[in-house]
Amino acid sequence: MEKLLQYINALQPDERDLFAGRCGTSVSYLRKAVSLGQTLGPALCVSIELASGGEVRRADLRSDWPLIWPELGTADTRQ
């Protein structure tokens, strides 16, 4: 989740809103989820990965990613 926060903070304010919109949520929701350590839903994780161009991966957002997305394999995706 820290990688998501770093990604959001690196964006310009207007880019943050566009990014969150592409994810189907708001910047405030994403910040709150990070600060509370909430587990994001699988669909939102995929949206974040796509909207960030792969800079924030599903595996960065959930520790149980191999159970949800076994097709990603066991390779280390936390580059």
With tokens 């989820």, the residue in question is: 33
- Any idea which residue has 């960030």 for tokens? 52
Encoding tokens for residue 7? Answer: 């990604």
User: What would the pLDDT profile of 10-42 be if each residue is shown by its tens digit?
Assistant: 999 999 999 999 999 999 999 999 999 999 999
Residue 56 is predicted with a pLDDT of: 97
CA distance 21 to 25: 6
Q: Where are the alpha helices (DSSP H) in 1-79?
A: 2-10, 13-23, 27-36, 42-51, 58-61, 65-68
The mean pLDDT of the chain is 92
Given the structure tokens 């509370």, which residue do they identify? 36
